[in-house]
Structure 1
Amino acid sequence: MKVLIATLNAKYIHTSLAIRYLKAFCQKDFEVDIAEYTIKDPAMNIVSDLYQRRPDVLGFSCYIWNIEETIAIIKMIKKIMPELIIVLGGPEVSYDTDYWMKRLPEVDFIVMGEGEETFHHLLQVIEGDRKFHFVYGIAYRKGDEVIITPGRPKLDLNEIPSPHRFEEDVPTLANRVVYFETSRGCPFSCQFCLSSIEVGVRYFDMERTKADLLYLIDSGAKLIKFVDRTFNIKREYALEIFDFLIKNHRGCVFQFEITADIMRPEVLEFLSEHAPPGIFRFEIGVQSTNDLTNELVKRRQNFAKLTRTVTMVRDSHKIDQHLDLIAGLPEENYDSFRKTFNDVFALGPEELQLGFLKMLRGTGLRNDAEKYGYVYMDHAPYEILGNDVLPFSDIVRIKRVEDVLEKYWNAHRLDRTVLYLIKNEFPSAFDFFQQFGDYWEEQGWQKIGHQLEDLFTRLHSFLRCRDTASLEVVEGLMKLDYFMNHKYKPRKIWWNFTIDKAEQSRYLRWLAEHPEKVSPEFAELKLSEKELHKHAVIEVLPFDLELYLCTGEVRESDPSLLVVYYPPDASEMPAYYVTSITGREALKKKRKKELEKMELHDIQ
């Protein structure tokens, strides 16, 4: 019997851990292959590939991001291969199973919950006596009746063979995300999360975990994401793995989901002292800072302790942090969510993900939807459309915040500019993203794509439209941000240079002759005038940039000469250097004759 286990990933770079577990567990007794596609692949292409593989049993791993696309595949493949046995599994079909069996007559079986042992047993029975009522944890058909058997006891995790040792995965490890788990289960009971349903936490053997990690690192993996719901729940276990990865990372990056308010100071101090910069990333689910909201969803969270953890991690400059928010939780209205957003943005995360509540099948919050007046999508991803305190009109506005947040903060295109605007020009971070998002919508830009340059010109348009007071200072920061977004010297800019070509040549000649007057670091580059012409850009900014970057003070009486150097092979990031310009005449567009009289020794 030929078995094929498939899934549709959200992106090509993603990999499915679930189907690899199933193959590892079943391959000792069955011929098992796996097939991965993406939700963007044309359905006909997927069906054609499945047809050519000629499986006897076809399994699909189902999630909210792929269920509707998977259904389309199932309906097509069953028409051309009616004898094919189709099995579904995964979190999306493990709840409301009777609904799925009735909605999808093409499906023969559904595996509910943890699937390795159940799927293996099901395959044995399919090939054997076909007494399906002896298989715990499945749904099947008996005539027109849907039969759901009792759930299966949890498996000893160490009985599951490693899903990370398939030779066919090795060639693509460096180009894809590897998902990895050291435990299953979650100790918390957040009512919007499926993890709250499983009681207790089980761990894989430590030595097995280390061996698998080392194998992946040695085989070329570049990014490993741990899928443990609360990686740091067991301090000693987490510390041991952190220490192991620090000693054996070899350039690989590791991402963890942590609960920040239970992170012990000694763990943070260990990481601050020993972790190399850049190899660890933390994903922290804050969701809401509203105490009533957290209480209603049974989410225990101490925001003061969470703040301490995030601040210590940020100040160590070792670990990037990705903080999550959920809009639409119970009793979180527009004003309350604005406060939540500002509370969390103030922590300075490298990335702030703004998501919207999804009423997942099986969760307590979905069961209580009527209590809070929720309306939501009938099909996956079940995103809310409103509730008693957050109407659809407010959700639409917050979505504009999300859109601009992704483009301007999480993409790190204009960090210096955005931080200045939030501090000096807007009441709060939320208000900046909201007002800009509203303007973006008014201009119809959500209907068209954008290039890097467009991000700058559109922000500039918004700032001019609202009569921004310190526009010249903002423009200076935008110029620096624009230059630093290129690996090579940019071919075009979105503004008119402050200095003409003749003046640029004089500056570049002076920079080549007197680099020590810029900085020791600039002098060490030993750049000739020709190299500067080819690999550097210069611009005059109407304020003391170096003073601002060091202290946050804006002194417009002291203009700066900004020098950005792009290494020829782009092996290193561009570097910028700043030196002051004395005399306001450097900023004024005087006649060429007057500019020629300017003494070069006035540049310090």
Structure 2
Amino acid sequence: MAARKVVLLELSVYPNTLPLASGYLQAYAQREAGVAGVYDFVIHAPEVRTPAREVVAELVATEADVYGLSCYLWNMRRMKEVLDELVRLRPDAHFILGGPQVMNHAAEYVPPSWENVVVCNGEGEQPFTAFLRETAAGDGAAPDLHRVPGVSFWLDGELVTTDKPPRIKDLDEIPSPFAAGIFDHGEYTFAVVETNRGCPFRCSYCYWGAATNDKVHRWELDRVKSDLTWISEHGIESIFLADANWGALPRDVELTRHLVECKERNGYPSMIAIQAAKNRPDRVTEITEILVDGGMLTSQPVSLQTTSPQVLDLVQRSNIKESTYVELQLKLRDKQISSYTELIWPLPGETLQSFREGIGKLCATGADAVVAYPQLLLRNTPMYERRESLGIVTVRVDDPVAEADVVVGTNWVTREEFDAGVWFYYAVISLYNARAGFYVGRQLERSGLCSYTEFLTRAADYYRGRTDTEIGRFFADSVATLGNYDINNIGKVLHYVLHSHRGEMDRLLEGFLDEQGWLSDPSVRTAFELDLIARPYVYREAVAEPSAALTRLRLLSRERYRFVVELPPEAVRLLSSFENIEGLSGAEPGLGPLRLLVDHVGRRKMPYPRQRSLDHNAAYCQAMMNRLRDILPSWTLLVPDAVAGTL
């Protein structure tokens, strides 16, 4: 008898992504002779924006007996299109859906007439294998799906849900798909990697810990090392370590060193992304330093999500102490390692004021960059179950492939306040993260003229009235369309502010400061002009003279990537309070103006790729914001005769 065929479908965000979930399902199922001897497996993993008709055509052509679909927030609209057509065109096949978007929501995606479609309600390996056992006969008899644990299905108009099996505690029961050769013939540039499963925390907005409510179970160390070696030897360029808290376990340091050794030996992977453990800052810093020295990581994420104690209590989360956070920032800055502090807007309990004040506090403590992600209402989380009592209001993003529900209101935030918070964050990105008004904000804060919170709030209000500018229109459109759902939206802000509309940003900032009456203060004027010179270039490109006039600083000469400027003592003191000035040690800024070389070459910048789309360039810019110290200029004190010429 010819072997039956099972096709596993993943629709990935990035092209050429290694289909890890499908690999686990196949490797686990093939442990059983009754499955391995009956089924041939095929994994299909196109990029999520591949047209549905193309995906359907390829899947129908396989004439598979079983189709397994991995369903997530980011692919569910496209997956639903594919599923609807597959069920219509392959009515005699069996289907099993899995993933956080569909589990416990079978009735939403499967109509009662589809008795050949099953939804898995938890960890997939055991239900998937049992499902294949039940459908293996292929003699026309209906499988007894009651014997499949942890699934929902329709039978005679009734939705049946079977008991879930216990989670797999000994993860080595799942054979390595890498060692099994499942991925040997694929061409992959990106891979997601698990070294453990589970999360000890219970953050109510997150599926990782709150939904699983489980201790961390880990794969055996040598098994993990072998898998990572396979990834390196097969030339995979970048990996995402999907453990919930990388750095929580002491062995994570050893595994990090192994990754660097693999790269030194084979040249791959070239880039690593991690979800850093929030309660192990010293170990995470050690890991970051290892990866930075190995050329595989350029920044450390610090996941606070909020600075409000009330919010932390409501979402069942605890953060590192404020003193530890400040100490961590100082250590990273001293080592020239970039970092970015992650927040979510708006979590339950967060108000517009607490959100603004929290960011103001982070700016005052010297965070490299502040990243505020939109709050997505994720299914199968405690927050989802409590959405009505929390007053959660959502809007589904207009995306042809995803089912993303953005939280735009809670009991603590109206829709108008939500919009105001997003406007505020665009002020943060442009003025603080992109450094357009970095030293102005610092001078206003430390002089007592205006706090960071008030400075950024006023700037956001000013932007709202300047939709006659390209930057203002982009912000307004992004707020209206929930554009910040797309992470590349942040990158577009940097592209505008640090490249294509740099002169417009100069004039916007000057107009804002003038309207507030601050430019008449010599110290603020000095800080403003320092920002004009110090604002980084996100691409490796020739520096340009500022669009606003310099009256406190003197621009003495300009080369392709460098300025020579003369700074008054107060500008040198302001600059040196945050950046290292080579050669300044022992000099006295109070004696008179000093001449400095401002070098905008940066580290690991790429030239501006004119032939690429804005979306492509925005992805690069967004990544550079998270590794800000790669694009900031360096400063060197010059003796007077070191100036080559004058402008």
Q: Same fold (TM over 0.5)?
A: yes
Q: TM-score range by the shorter chain?
A: 0.7 to 0.9
Instruction: Assess if the C-alpha contact under 8 Å between 2:437 and 2:509 holds in 1.
Output: no
Which residue number in structure 2 is paired with residue 520 of structure 1? none
| C-alpha deviation, 1:368, in angstroms | 2.1
Which residue number in structure 2 is paired with residue 594 of structure 1? none
Equivalent-residue separation in structure 1 for 2:305 and 2:78 (angstroms)? 29
The 5-angstrom pairing of residues 419-498 of structure 1 reads 419-425=438-444, 427-442=450-465, 443=467, 444-446=473-475, 447=477, 451=496, 452-466=498-512, 467=514, 469=519, 470-471=524-525, 473-481=527-535, 484-489=537-542, 495=547
Which residue of 22, 26, 42 maps to 1:23? 26
Structure 1 residues 88-129: Cα deviation after superposition (integer angstroms, max 9, x where no partner):
100111133344434995971111211122212212211226
Instruction: Assess if the C-alpha contact under 8 Å between 1:327 and 1:357 holds in 2.
Output: yes
Which residue number in structure 2 is paired with residue 12 of structure 1? 15
User: Structure 2 vs 1, CA of residues 17 and 405 (structure 1 numbering), >3 Å: closer, same or farther?
Assistant: farther
Structure 1 residues 458-501: Cα deviation after superposition (integer angstroms, max 9, x where no partner):
3223212221524565345334435x4342436x7674998xxx
Identity %: 20
Instruction: Assess if the C-alpha contact under 8 Å between 1:403 and 1:437 holds in 2.
Output: yes
| C-alpha deviation, 1:394, in angstroms | 0.9
Q: Letter of the aligned partner of 1:61 in structure 2?
A: S
User: Structure 2 vs 1, CA of residues 96 and 565 (structure 1 numbering), >3 Å: closer, same or farther?
Assistant: closer
Decide which moves more: 467-476 or 203-212: 467-476
- Residue 230 of structure 1: SS of its match in structure 2? strand
| C-alpha deviation, 1:22, in angstroms | 1.9
Which residue number in structure 1 is paired with residue 145 of structure 2? 132
The 5-angstrom pairing of residues 307-346 of structure 1 reads 307=325, 310-311=328-329, 313-315=331-333, 317=335, 319-346=337-364
Equivalent-residue separation in structure 1 for 2:456 and 2:130 (angstroms)? 53
Structure of greater relative contact order (alpha carbons < 8 Å, 6+ residues apart)? 2
User: Structure 2 vs 1, CA of residues 5 and 494 (structure 1 numbering), >3 Å: closer, same or farther?
Assistant: farther
Structure 1 residues 571-591: Cα deviation after superposition (integer angstroms, max 9, x where no partner):
999986666697xxxxxxxxx
| C-alpha deviation, 1:349, in angstroms | 4.5
Instruction: Assess if the C-alpha contact under 8 Å between 1:320 and 1:349 holds in 2.
Output: no
Structure 1 residues 428-457: Cα deviation after superposition (integer angstroms, max 9, x where no partner):
445555444444444123449765534423
Which residue number in structure 1 is paired with residue 593 of structure 2? 558
Q: Letter of the aligned partner of 1:394 in structure 2?
A: E
Structure 1 residues 147-190: Cα deviation after superposition (integer angstroms, max 9, x where no partner):
111101222310212234557567744x42x2111111111122
| C-alpha deviation, 1:327, in angstroms | 2.0
User: Structure 2 vs 1, CA of residues 270 and 104 (structure 1 numbering), >3 Å: closer, same or farther?
Assistant: farther
Instruction: Assess if the C-alpha contact under 8 Å between 1:314 and 1:349 holds in 2.
Output: no
Equivalent-residue separation in structure 2 for 1:602 and 1:539 (angstroms)? 9
Which residue number in structure 1 is paired with residue 234 of structure 2? 219
Instruction: Assess if the C-alpha contact under 8 Å between 2:200 and 2:215 holds in 1.
Output: yes
Equivalent-residue separation in structure 1 for 2:458 and 2:43 (angstroms)? 47
| C-alpha deviation, 1:296, in angstroms | 2.2
Structure 1 residues 244-272: Cα deviation after superposition (integer angstroms, max 9, x where no partner):
34544426443332333344x5x368558
Instruction: Assess if the C-alpha contact under 8 Å between 1:272 and 1:318 holds in 2.
Output: no
Which residue number in structure 1 is paired with residue 246 of structure 2? 231
Between structure 1 and structure 2, the one with the greater Rg is: 1
- Residue 59 of structure 1: SS of its match in structure 2? strand
Q: Letter of the aligned partner of 2:538 in structure 1?
A: N
Matched, 1:77 2:86: yes
For normalisation by structure 1, the TM-score amounts to 0.77
Which residue of 168, 171, 174 maps to 1:157? 171
- Residue 51 of structure 1: SS of its match in structure 2? helix
Which residue of 234, 241, 256 maps to 2:274? 256
Which residue number in structure 2 is paired with residue 400 of structure 1? 423
For normalisation by structure 2, the TM-score amounts to 0.72
Which residue number in structure 2 is paired with residue 356 of structure 1? 374
Which residue number in structure 2 is paired with residue 58 of structure 1? 67
Equivalent-residue separation in structure 2 for 1:223 and 1:334 (angstroms)? 37
| C-alpha deviation, 1:204, in angstroms | 0.6
Instruction: Assess if the C-alpha contact under 8 Å between 2:106 and 2:153 holds in 1.
Output: no
Equivalent-residue separation in structure 1 for 2:6 and 2:89 (angstroms)? 18
Q: Letter of the aligned partner of 1:121 in structure 2?
A: A
| C-alpha deviation, 1:386, in angstroms | 1.1
- Residue 233 of structure 1: SS of its match in structure 2? coil
Which residue number in structure 2 is paired with residue 201 of structure 1? 216
Which residue number in structure 2 is paired with residue 585 of structure 1? none
Equivalent-residue separation in structure 1 for 2:78 and 2:246 (angstroms)? 31
Which residue number in structure 1 is paired with residue 624 of structure 2? none
Which residue number in structure 2 is paired with residue 527 of structure 1? none
Instruction: Assess if the C-alpha contact under 8 Å between 2:568 and 2:592 holds in 1.
Output: yes
Instruction: Assess if the C-alpha contact under 8 Å between 2:408 and 2:415 holds in 1.
Output: yes
User: Structure 2 vs 1, CA of residues 98 and 49 (structure 1 numbering), >3 Å: closer, same or farther?
Assistant: same
| C-alpha deviation, 1:146, in angstroms | 1.7
Instruction: Assess if the C-alpha contact under 8 Å between 1:60 and 1:88 holds in 2.
Output: yes
Equivalent-residue separation in structure 2 for 1:507 and 1:99 (angstroms)? 66
Equivalent-residue separation in structure 2 for 1:223 and 1:239 (angstroms)? 19
Which residue number in structure 2 is paired with residue 185 of structure 1? 198
Equivalent-residue separation in structure 2 for 1:104 and 1:453 (angstroms)? 55
Instruction: Assess if the C-alpha contact under 8 Å between 2:12 and 2:46 holds in 1.
Output: yes
Equivalent-residue separation in structure 2 for 1:372 and 1:571 (angstroms)? 45
Decide which moves more: 451-460 or 179-188: 451-460
Equivalent-residue separation in structure 1 for 2:280 and 2:422 (angstroms)? 31
The 5-angstrom pairing of residues 264-413 of structure 1 reads 265=282, 267=283, 276-277=292-293, 278-280=295-297, 281-304=299-322, 306-307=324-325, 310-311=328-329, 313-315=331-333, 317=335, 319-377=337-395, 380-403=403-426, 405-406=428-429
Instruction: Assess if the C-alpha contact under 8 Å between 1:24 and 1:161 holds in 2.
Output: yes
Equivalent-residue separation in structure 2 for 1:315 and 1:217 (angstroms)? 30
Q: Letter of the aligned partner of 2:532 in structure 1?
A: M
User: Structure 2 vs 1, CA of residues 480 and 378 (structure 1 numbering), >3 Å: closer, same or farther?
Assistant: closer
Instruction: Assess if the C-alpha contact under 8 Å between 2:427 and 2:460 holds in 1.
Output: yes
Q: Which structure 1 residue ranges, 5 or more long, are not aligned?
A: 499-503, 509-531, 583-599
Equivalent-residue separation in structure 2 for 1:247 and 1:307 (angstroms)? 30
| C-alpha deviation, 1:556, in angstroms | 12
Equivalent-residue separation in structure 2 for 1:601 and 1:92 (angstroms)? 62
Instruction: Assess if the C-alpha contact under 8 Å between 1:184 and 1:203 holds in 2.
Output: yes
| C-alpha deviation, 1:64, in angstroms | 1.6
Structure 1 residues 548-588: Cα deviation after superposition (integer angstroms, max 9, x where no partner):
54346998973747565869x99999986666697xxxxxx
Measured on the aligned residues, the alpha-carbon RMSD in Å equals 4.1
Equivalenced residues, count:
547
| C-alpha deviation, 1:202, in angstroms | 0.8
Which residue number in structure 1 is paired with residue 622 of structure 2? none
Equivalent-residue separation in structure 2 for 1:104 and 1:305 (angstroms)? 59
Which residue number in structure 1 is paired with residue 611 of structure 2? none
Which residue number in structure 2 is paired with residue 511 of structure 1? none
Q: Which structure 2 residue ranges, 5 or more long, are not aligned?
A: 398-402, 468-472, 479-491, 579-587, 608-629
Structure 1 residues 351-402: Cα deviation after superposition (integer angstroms, max 9, x where no partner):
4321233332222222222323222347942322312221111111112234
Equivalent-residue separation in structure 1 for 2:549 and 2:106 (angstroms)? 64
Decide which moves more: 150-159 or 336-345: 336-345
| C-alpha deviation, 1:76, in angstroms | 2.9
- Residue 339 of structure 2: SS of its match in structure 1? strand
Q: Letter of the aligned partner of 1:10 in structure 2?
A: V
Equivalent-residue separation in structure 2 for 1:406 and 1:331 (angstroms)? 24
